[in-house]
């Protein structure tokens, strides 16, 4: 029983420790606020909740079936990283050249947004690839690639991974939910600097993901 509890705790902590630095919800908060600046405070709160829910489902699905899907489609993790890295770079480039966030009452006025529009924006680009990108998905797939064969141990590890992912998504929700309050303390100039810096870091992350994917593919012979 003690061994099972230790294994459960280790698996949950490994999942959280592996995913949280890559997801980096605190670093993504300025980008989230920029992409939702046409919504009021309640609208951003709803969007933050939807993004967190999407992230949980996407990461959990990657852990459970990600490796099987890649095998079925004859895709490697390296290909996924390169494709995802290109998407991340394109979004980061657009953010670098986007207008600054304007925290004015007129800007913060409520805008009527349809449920379909909210759902689409919550998934792309806010969930994927800005929050859960190819790096996070690759880590999640790796977590689920070597599962134990014994049913009891398999259920234990899956629940532990789900708990670790839940902790990560709670951090996402809190950072995004209160992003406006945090950035309000920085002022307009500080927020602009942080947004540009976040976009540049996102661009660097995209380049690094492409590099990692290319390096992985160069070590693996092409499929016949």
Distance of CA 122 to the CA centre of its chain: 12
C-alpha–C-alpha distance, residues 183 and 177, integer Å: 12
pLDDT at residue 120, as a whole number: 87
User: Residue 223: is its pLDDT beyond 70?
Assistant: no
Q: 148 falls in which pLDDT band (50, 70, 90)?
A: confident
pLDDT at 153 over 60: yes
pLDDT at 177 over 90: yes
The pLDDT of 125-129, averaged and rounded, is: 90
For residue 99, what pLDDT is reported?
63
**How far lies 106's CA from each of 98, 102, 110, 170, 192, in Å?**
19, 9, 9, 31, 18
Residues 191-215: what's their mean pLDDT? 80
State residue 103's pLDDT score: 44
50-106: pLDDT as tens digits: 999 999 999 999 999 988 888 888 888 788 778 878 877 887 788 777 765 554 433
Task: Please list, residue by residue across 91-124, b when 16 or more beta carbons sit within 10 angstroms of its beta carbon and e when fewer do.
Answer: bbeebeeeeebebeeeebeeeebeeeebeebbbe
What value does the mean pLDDT take over residues 105-126?
70
Q: What is the mean pLDDT of residues 189-203?
A: 76
Helix count (H) and strand count (E) of the chain?
Answer: 9, 0
User: Is pLDDT of 109 > 80?
Assistant: no
Q: What is the pLDDT of residue 77?
A: 77
5-13 average pLDDT score: 91
134-145 helix and 77-96 helix, angle to the nearest 10 degrees: 160
Cα torsion through 61, 67, 73, 77, rounded to 10? 110
Q: What pLDDT, on the 0 to 100 scale, is given for residue 69? A: 87
- Residues 132, 58: contact at Cβ < 8 Å? yes
Q: What confidence score (pLDDT) does residue 61 get? A: 95
Among the ranges 33-37, 122-126, 192-196, which has the highest mean pLDDT value? 122-126
Percent of the chain with pLDDT over 70: 89
Give me the chain's average pLDDT, please.
82
Least confident of 11-15, 40-44, 157-161, 181-185: 181-185
Pair of tokens at residue 121: 């924006």
- pLDDT attached to residue 193: 76
């Amino acid at each position: 029983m003690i061994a099972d509890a230790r294994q459960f705790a280790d698996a949950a902590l490994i999942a959280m420790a592996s995913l949280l630095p890559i997801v980096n919800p605190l670093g993504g908060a300025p980008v989230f606020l920029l992409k939702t600046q046409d919504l009021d405070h309640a609208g951003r709160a709803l969007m933050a909740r939807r993004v967190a829910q999407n992230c949980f489902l996407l990461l959990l699905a990657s852990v459970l079936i990600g490796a099987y899907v890649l095998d079925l489609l004859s895709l490697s993790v390296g290909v996924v990283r390169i494709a995802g890295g290109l998407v991340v770079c394109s979004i980061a480039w657009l953010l670098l050249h986007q207008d600054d966030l304007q925290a004015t009452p007129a800007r913060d006025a409520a805008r009527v947004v349809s449920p379909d529009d909210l759902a689409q924006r919550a998934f792309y680009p806010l969930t994927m690839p800005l929050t859960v990108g190819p790096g996070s998905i690759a880590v999640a797939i790796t977590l689920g690639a070597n599962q134990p064969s014994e049913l009891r141990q398999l259920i234990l590890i899956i629940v532990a991974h789900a708990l670790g992912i839940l902790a990560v998504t709670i951090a996402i929700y809190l950072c995004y939910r209160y992003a406006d309050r945090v950035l309000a303390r920085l002022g307009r100039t500080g927020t602009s600097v942080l947004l540009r810096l976040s976009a540049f870091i996102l661009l660097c992350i995209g380049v690094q993901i492409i590099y990692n994917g290319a390096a992985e593919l160069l070590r693996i012979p092409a499929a016949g």
